Amino acid sequence: MNKKFSVVIIDSIPVWCVHTKGICGVEEAIKNLESKVMSLKGRKCYGVLTGSPEDGIYRACTSIKNEDNFKSIEKWIIPGGKYVRVKIEGWEKDPTVIGIIFSDMAKISEVDNTRPSIEFYRSQKELILFLPTKG
């Protein structure tokens, strides 16, 4: 898998989200989010982890649209700032590659643990990972 890391600055992103403890509940969180917003089709989707994969808070998130008026779902803001970025394709065949690549990213950068790691699901096959960096 060819990985090309770059450093980018992203803006804060307002989202709807559903959270769970660690990454073990990711699928359930995504299904819960989808049931609350009716459909994720046509929306930007994110997976956001604050803390460790085992004990941290994982948020399944989707973009906020002007016409949205959901009462049973949390609004949150994905923090902007400087991130190490990498695009991966084919992740859906082996989702464990996500954690491996985040670990590789952490080896080349001083991680800012005050902000979360972000998965941006650009399409069914393309995923962009953002690791917060101090450098």
The pLDDT tens digits of the residues spanning 98-111 come to 999 999 999 989 99
pLDDT confidence bin for 38, thresholds 50/70/90: confident
Please list the residues that pair with 117 across neighbouring strands.
49
Q: How far is CA 12 from the centre of its chain?
A: 13
Percent of the chain at pLDDT above 70? 98
Q: How far is CA 86 from the centre of its chain?
A: 13
Q: How far apart are CA 50 and CA 56, in angstroms?
A: 5
Q: How far apart are CA 56 and CA 95, in angstroms?
A: 18
**How many Å is the maximal CA-CA distance in the chain?**
42
Q: How far apart are CA 122 and CA 3, in angstroms?
A: 17
Predicted pLDDT of residue 46: 97
Sign of the C-alpha dihedral, residues 106, 108, 113, 117? negative
Q: Are 132 and 112 in contact (CB under 8 A)?
A: yes
Sequence letter at residue 113: N
CATH topology of domain 6-132: Multidrug-efflux Transporter 1 Regulator Bmrr; Chain A (3.20.80)
Domain ranges of the chain: 6-132
